[in-house]
Chains A and B, each alone.
Chain A
Amino acid sequence: MSNSQQFCTFVLQGMLFGTPVTRVQEVILQRPMTPVPLAPHVVRGLINLRGQIVMVLDLRRQLGFPDFAAGQSPVHLVVHTCNGPVSLLVDDIGNVLELDKEILQRPPETLRGFSREVLRGVYQLPEGLLLELDIDRVVDLWDLKKSLAQNHVGPESNDSANAVAMHKRGE
Chain B
Amino acid sequence: MGRTLDGIWVATCTAMMVSTLLRRVMDEIVKEFLIESSDNLDRLDQELVKLESEPTSKELLASIFRTIHTIKGSCGFLGFPRLEKLAHTAEGLLARLRDGDLALTQPITNALLGVVDAVRQMLRAIESSGQDGSEDYAALIERLGELQQPLSRESTTPSEPDVSSTASLAEKTQATGPPQVSPPPKTSDRAHPECDAVIVKSAETRDSAEEKLAHASSPTAGGEIIRVAVHLVDRLLNLVGELVLARNQLLQFQNRASDAGFQAVCQRTNLITTELQEQVMKARMQPMENIWNKFPRTVRDLALNCGKEVQLELEGQETELDRTVLEAIRDPLMHLVRNAIDHGIETPETRKKAGKNPAGVVRLRALHQGGQVNIEVIDDGAGLNRERIRKRAIEHGIVSPQQAGSMADRDLFQLIFLSGFSTAEKVTKVSGRGVGMDVVRAGVEKIGGGIDVQSADGKGTSIKIRIPLTLAIIPALMVASGGECFAIPQANVLELVRLESADGLETVHGAPVYRLRGRLLPLVYLNRELQMDRGEAAETAGSAVNLAVLQADGREFGLVVDTILDTQEIVVKPLSQQLKGLNAYSGATILGDGRIALILDIPGLAQRALMVSDSREQLAKAKAFAQEVNAGREALLLVECGLRSRMAIPISLVSRLEEFPVTAIELAGTQEVIQYRGQIMPIVRLTRVLSGVEARAEAATACLKVVVSGESGGSVGLVVDKILDIVDEYPSIENPSRRRGVLGSCVIQKRVTEMLDVPGLVADMGAGRLESLPR
Contact = CB atoms under 8 A, between A and B. Distances in A.
A166 B582 CA distance: 23
Interface of A: 32, 34-40, 43, 46-48, 50-53, 55, 83-84, 86, 141, 144
A52 B531 CA distance: 26
B693 interface: no
B537 interface: no
B201 to A, nearest CB: 25
A52 B588 CA distance: 10
A46 B579 CA distance: 11
A39 B594 CA distance: 22
A55 B578 contact: yes
A58 B584 CA distance: 21
B238 A38 contact: no
Nearest to A143: B578
Given A39-B582, A46-B588, A51-B590, A34 B238 contact: no
8 contacts: A34-B484, A37-B484, A37-B530, A48-B594, A50-B239, A55-B578, A83-B578, A144-B578
Contacts of B588: 34, 46, 53
B579 A34 contact: no
Contacts of B367: none
Interface string B578-596: 1100101100101000111
Interface in B236-257: 238-239, 241-242, 245
Interface of B: 238-239, 241-242, 245, 482, 484, 530-532, 573-579, 582, 584-585, 588, 590, 594-598
A135 to B, nearest CB: 14
Contact of A53 (B239, B573, B577): B573
Contacts of B576: 55, 83-84, 86
Given A37-B584, A83-B576, A53 B590 contact: yes
A52 B598 contact: no
B584 A34 contact: no
Nearest to B590: A48
Tell me if A's interface is mostly helix, strand, loop or mixed. mixed
Nearest to B245: A51
A36 B578 CA distance: 12
A35 B483 CA distance: 10
B239 A35 contact: no
Contacts of B530: 37-38
Q: Which 10 pairs, one residue from A and one from B, show the smallest C-beta to C-beta distance?
A: A51-B242, A37-B530, A34-B596, A51-B238, A55-B576, A51-B241, A46-B596, A53-B573, A53-B588, A50-B242
Contacts of B482: 37
A43 B579 contact: yes
Nearest to B608: A38
Contacts of A46: 575, 588, 596, 598
A38 B596 contact: no
Contact of A34 (B242, B582, B597): B597
Contacts of B242: 50-51
A96 B23 CA distance: 40
A36 B577 contact: no
A138 to B, nearest CB: 12
A9 to B, nearest CB: 26
Most A CB within 10 A of own CB, among B239, B585, B596, B598 = B596
A55 B575 CA distance: 8
A90 B582 CA distance: 25
B605 to A, nearest CB: 10
Nearest to A54: B576
Most B CB within 10 A of own CB, among A48, A55, A86 = A48
Nearest to A31: B594
A46 B594 CA distance: 12
Nearest to A139: B578
B579 A32 contact: no
A52 B574 CA distance: 9
Contact of B596 (A40, A43, A53): A53
A149 to B, nearest CB: 13
B594 A36 contact: no
Given A37-B482, A86-B576, 7 more contacts: A36-B582, A43-B578, A50-B239, A50-B242, A53-B575, A53-B590, A55-B575
Given A48-B596, A50-B242, A51-B238, A37 B532 contact: yes
B595 A34 contact: yes
A38 B595 contact: no
B590 to A, nearest CB: 5
Contact of A36 (B238, B245, B595, B598): B598
Nearest to A84: B576
Contacts of A48: 590, 594-596
Given A37-B530, A37-B531, A38-B531, A55 B579 contact: yes
Contacts of B574: 53
Contacts of A50: 239, 242
